[in-house]
Amino acid sequence: MDLKLESPVKAVKGVGEKTAGIFAKQGINTVFDLLFHFPLDYIDFSTPADGIDLQQKKVYRVEIENFRLSRIYWKKLTILNVNAKISTGTGPPKKEEKIRVVFFNKPYLSDFFRERTAPAADPGQAGKKTPLDNGLSANTGEKNSSVYLYGQMEKKPGFFQLSSPMVFSGTGMPAVQPLYHAISTIKNGTLRKLMGNIFAVLEDDCECLPPWILEKYGFPAIAAALSGIHLPAQYNPGVIDRLKSRFIYREFLFFQLELQYTRNFFKKVKRLNHYVIDRKVKQSVDANVEFELTADQVKAYADIVNDLKSDFAMQRLLQGDVGSGKTIIAFLALLLARENGFQGAFLAPTEILTNQHFSSAKRFFKDAEVEVLTGSTPPAARARIYERLLAGEIDIIFGTHSLLNENVRFKNLSLVVIDEQHRFGVSQRAALYYKGLSVDLLVTTATPIPRTMLLSLYNDLSVSLIETKPRGRLPIITKIVANRARDEFYRRLKGKVEQGNKVYIILPLVEESEFFAELRSIEKETPYFKEVFVGLPMGIVSGRTPADRKDKTLAEFAAGKIEILVSTTVIEVGIDVKDATIIVIEDADRYGLSQLHQLRGRVGRGGQQSFCYLIPSVNISESGKQRLLTTASTDDGFKIAEIDLEMRGGGIITGLEQSGYLDFRIGDVKRDREVFAAARRDAASMLQDESLLNGHSARFLEQVKQKTRSINFS
């Protein structure tokens, strides 16, 4: 039977109901979905190792001498010990090394090795049983066939050993074998077999990219590209990467088609909420702002005012470094809405951040009705908030995703601020648009995004930058503390606390981990800190701390009842304690540059000189040293973001390594930024001239149009 890329995965030979169910849970429903599960790596059998390599996995061509299968019944364990020899060196003459190969719980391999065992030294012993502790036989057959083993060689006393390597017969075997990441219980070997079954019958000329794109970039047809990725005739990383770039481009192109169309659509949404910025409003703004704004803040505020006075709804990103004063600008925008008789909403991703903003808002908004709604809000209070929002009795509401609940309805919602630690999608924006008429949107982000990335990542939003920090803020002094000097450092730090300094101490783990045994944890270090800081009030918070206790501890720290806060990175964003002046980051080399910069931003928020101390882990890597030196050399978040972009291929923008970013399956916006930029340009051309679309891309764009038009603004 011929297979198409859009055929259900159940049509693949070897995929039964159970396997199809496993695939479905992973979002693999079609043949193309499965083929999009690209190999992690490849094994090249055409060039086996010509010597023992103890540093990395290698392919070894060996001859089997004998084997022995043992069973340990009380442990339900089978052990297969294989003695083999390997020719090393480029010779002649070649040197032979004896190696041992060990397999656990793979007794079926005994038949494989039996057929490939070299002749016995004494022919009279062939076929006889060798005394074993369990009575099984180590058969010595008559065939002498090479076996390929792929694994990590270890040096044992007197011999070399391969433990649980991958085994290949070498007979009729492709020179290059793909290695896949297991999908649940479906292992690498099964996936290789399924991929082979697909390409044996795949007949598909379905093309998602227009012909002019294929010609422009020299991309092969889709089926040929997939075959070259999964079943390459030769191992050529450059060729394979080129084939993959076709699918990376495809992801980026269709993302940009949706992104740019959506932006253009929103830019054309007519304004229904008309703002008046007269003398009275300006006086109200002046009354609420108790300090002088920086030039960047003034410019950002002017951008927002111009948006609100324009004929179309606002779609703006407000981006700035930690401590640059973005929140005050967002508050001013909400104040403009309130002064014009509208309601505003402030959406934040966590309760800690929401409550922090709410606390600041109560001080800032002198005459406005301000409220907060989170998952912890009691049912009775929640119901009352629903009533007051609908009646227009609440001017500004702060909340988490609870604001997206269908029971949350407004009398006249006009402005939404999204404090974005990860990027909210179109559907989440739409959930708020439904709650108002032609709602204006202001998105803020605290982590500086490299200037080279801004246009690509936020092509659907106008951008305002705040680069300068408020007047009176001193640069944070950052120092690296040698691990050997840790005890002396903390003894001196106690003196600093006794002099009135408020301190954060950041640890990477909550409790000890066998996987990260060398890293420090709150569980292990708390007794140490209690001994060092004896007599000083100390609090502890982590992601596992109940919300009410966490909020209470943070409030006590802010109020000065607690002088030392031991925490994980849960305080990375949204904690604004003005008189906190010292932060200590343990195992600091294990964090990314952007995260280190975010953590450092918890201090230096008042007028006092603040310090950041970086204590590296015991086994610091060269890249870890470079990150610490970079962090110590500058507190310019934009510069750090640019360096981070160059140092790392992907994963560190606004905490992206935890949450993922833009949900690309194989593309990486930073690593593949040139491909991303090309896709952005091509998408713009296709939207300007839809004759450049082919059937597949035209259908996709029509779906985007239908989805976007379904958003009701009236």
Does a structural domain hold residue 665?
no
Structure tokens at 376: 């912890």
Mean pLDDT in residue range 272-300: 85
d(CA 613, CA 596): 11
Domain check: are 523 and 433 in the same one?
no
Domain check: are 322 and 457 in the same one?
yes
Q: Is the dihedral of CA 497, 503, 508, 509 positive or negative?
A: positive
3-state secondary structure 91-159: CCCCEEEEEEEEEECCCCHHHHHHCCECCCCCHHHCCCCCCCCCCCCCCCCCCCCEEEEEECEEEECCE
Does a structural domain hold residue 484?
yes
Q: Which residues contact 654 (CB under 8 A, 6 or more apart)?
A: 420, 421, 422, 423, 445, 446, 447, 449, 594
The whole-number pLDDT of residue 418 equals: 87
Output the CA–CA distances (angstroms, integers) from residue 440 to 47, 275, 330, 392, in the order listed: 61, 11, 12, 18
354-358, 454-458, 626-630 — which is least confidently predicted? 454-458
Does a structural domain hold residue 253?
no
Structure tokens at 398: 């702060």
Q: Could you read off the pLDDT of 15-50 as tens digits, one per residue?
A: 999 999 999 988 899 999 999 999 988 988 888 888
The whole-number pLDDT of residue 140 equals: 38
The whole-number pLDDT of residue 385 equals: 96
Does a structural domain hold residue 705?
no
Which amino acid is residue 307, in one-letter code? D
d(CA 288, CA 284): 6
Domain check: are 121 and 227 in the same one?
no
Does a structural domain hold residue 383?
yes
Does a structural domain hold residue 669?
no
**pLDDT surpassing 60 at residue 570:** yes
Element spanning 82, H or E: strand 77-88
Asked if 592 contacts 598 with a C-beta cutoff of 8 angstroms, the reply is no
More confident position, 688 or 466: 688
The whole-number pLDDT of residue 425 equals: 52
DSSP per residue, 528-566: HHHHHTTTS-EEEE-TTS-HHHHHHHHHHHHHTS-SEEE
The whole-number pLDDT of residue 197 equals: 93
The whole-number pLDDT of residue 573 equals: 65
115-129, 333-347, 434-448 — which is least confidently predicted? 115-129
Asked if 253 contacts 667 with a C-beta cutoff of 8 angstroms, the reply is no
d(CA 595, CA 421): 12
Domain check: are 415 and 558 in the same one?
no
Q: Ranked by mean pLDDT, which of 60-74, 487-501, 658-672 comes out on top?
A: 487-501
Q: Could you read off the pLDDT of 212-254 as tens digits, one per residue?
A: 999 999 999 999 999 999 999 888 999 999 999 999 999 999 9
Domain check: are 401 and 426 in the same one?
yes
Domain check: are 610 and 542 in the same one?
yes
257-266, 330-339, 450-459, 490-499 — which is least confidently predicted? 450-459
Mean pLDDT in residue range 534-538: 94
**pLDDT surpassing 90 at residue 85:** no
Domain boundary among the residues 466, 496, 514 is at 466
The whole-number pLDDT of residue 458 equals: 59
The whole-number pLDDT of residue 653 equals: 26
Asked if 521 contacts 512 with a C-beta cutoff of 8 angstroms, the reply is yes
Domain check: are 430 and 361 in the same one?
yes
**pLDDT surpassing 90 at residue 344:** yes
Does a structural domain hold residue 242?
no
Which amino acid is residue 133, in one-letter code? D
For 62-65, the CB contacts below 8 A with 24+ separation are: 62/86, 62/99, 62/101, 62/146, 62/147, 62/148, 62/149, 63/118, 63/144, 63/146, 63/147, 64/113, 64/116, 64/117, 64/118, 64/147, 65/117, 65/118
Domain check: are 37 and 50 in the same one?
no
More confident position, 50 or 119: 50
Asked if 576 contacts 360 with a C-beta cutoff of 8 angstroms, the reply is yes
Domain check: are 76 and 99 in the same one?
yes
Domain check: are 544 and 615 in the same one?
yes
**pLDDT surpassing 70 at residue 649:** no
189-193, 307-311, 640-644 — which is least confidently predicted? 640-644
Mean pLDDT in residue range 326-352: 90
Asked if 333 contacts 442 with a C-beta cutoff of 8 angstroms, the reply is yes
The range of the structural domain enclosing residue 71 comes to 46-168
Query: Side-chain half-sphere of 163: how many Cα atoms within 13 Å?
Result: 5
Q: Could you read off the pLDDT of 125-179 as tens digits, one per residue?
A: 444 433 333 323 333 334 446 788 999 999 998 889 999 998 887 666 778 889 8
Mean pLDDT in residue range 261-269: 76
Return the percentage of the chain with pLDDT > 90, whole number: 41
Mean pLDDT in residue range 589-604: 88
**Which domain CATH number covers 89?**
2.40.50.140
18-22, 605-609, 660-664 — which is least confidently predicted? 660-664
pLDDT band with cut points at 50, 70 and 90 for residue 432: low
Structure tokens at 624: 């870890």
Q: Could you read off the pLDDT of 537-559 as tens digits, one per residue?
A: 999 998 888 878 888 898 899 88
Does a structural domain hold residue 245?
no
Q: Ranked by mean pLDDT, which of 52-56, 422-426, 427-431, 527-531 comes out on top?
A: 527-531
Residue written as token pair 């409220």: 371
**pLDDT surpassing 90 at residue 441:** no
**pLDDT surpassing 60 at residue 401:** yes
**pLDDT surpassing 90 at residue 422:** no
Q: Tell me the three state secondary structure of residue 57.
A: coil
Structure tokens at 142: 């008559």
13: DSSP letter:
T
d(CA 448, CA 436): 30
More confident position, 1 or 388: 388
5-19, 107-121, 190-204 — which is least confidently predicted? 107-121
**pLDDT surpassing 70 at residue 89:** no
Domain boundary among the residues 466, 498, 515 is at 466
d(CA 180, CA 192): 8
More confident position, 642 or 83: 83
Output the CA–CA distances (angstroms, integers) from residue 141 to 80, 117, 127, 171, 433, in the order listed: 17, 6, 7, 18, 75
141-150, 386-395, 419-428 — which is least confidently predicted? 419-428
Q: Based on the structure, what is the number of domains in the chain?
A: 4
Question: Strand 41-44 relative to strand 176-179: parallel, antiparallel, unpaired?
Answer: antiparallel
Domain boundary among the residues 419, 438, 466 is at 466
d(CA 461, CA 426): 12
10 Å Cβ neighbour count for 506?
A: 25
3-state secondary structure 249-311: HHHHHHHHHHHHHHHHHHHCCECCCCCCCCHHHHHHHHHHCCCCCCHHHHHHHHHHHHHHHCC
**Which domain CATH number covers 559?**
3.40.50.300
Mean pLDDT in residue range 573-579: 76
For the sheet with 315-320, list strands across it: 370-373, 396-399, 343-347, 413-419, 436-445, 315-320, 462-466
Q: What are phi and psi of 491, to 5 degrees?
A: -65, -40
The whole-number pLDDT of residue 658 equals: 26
Query: Side-chain half-sphere of 100: how many Cα atoms within 13 Å?
Result: 13
Asked if 262 contacts 708 with a C-beta cutoff of 8 angstroms, the reply is yes
Asked if 442 contacts 420 with a C-beta cutoff of 8 angstroms, the reply is no
More confident position, 258 or 526: 526
Domain check: are 144 and 14 in the same one?
no
Structure tokens at 52: 């023992």
**pLDDT surpassing 60 at residue 634:** yes
213-217, 265-269, 403-407 — which is least confidently predicted? 265-269
Domain check: are 568 and 433 in the same one?
no
Q: What are phi and psi of 96, to 5 degrees?
A: -105, 135
**pLDDT surpassing 90 at residue 688:** yes
The whole-number pLDDT of residue 660 equals: 29
Q: Is the peptide bond between 92 and the residue preceding it cis, with omega within 30 degrees of 0?
A: yes
